[in-house]
Amino acid sequence: MSIGFKKGEICSVNGVEYDDKIKAIQEVEKIGAAYAIGRDCHVGDTIIGIKGRVGFEAAAPMLIIAAHRFLEKYTLSKWQQYWKDQFSNWYGMFLHESQYLEPVMPDMEAMLESSQRNVNGVVTLELRPYSFQTIGADTPDDLVHNKLGEYGETAKAWTSEDAKGFIKVTSTPLRAYY
pLDDT in tens, 104-154: 999 999 999 999 999 999 999 999 999 999 999 999 999 988 776 666 566
CA-wise closest residue to 121 among 161, 165, 69: 69
Output Rg (C-alpha) for the chain, integer angstroms: 20
Q: Are residues 65 and 122 in the same domain?
A: yes
Q: Which domain holds residue 48?
A: 1-76+118-141
CA-wise closest residue to 130 among 36, 34, 30: 36
**108 CB burial (10 A radius; 0-12, 13-18, 19+):** middle
- Per-residue pLDDT tens for 33-81? 999 999 888 898 887 888 989 888 999 999 999 999 999 999 999 999 9
Q: Are residues 69 and 83 in the same domain?
A: no
Q: Are residues 132 and 112 in the same domain?
A: no
Q: How far apart are CA 132 and CA 16, in angstroms?
A: 21
Domains of the chain: total: 3
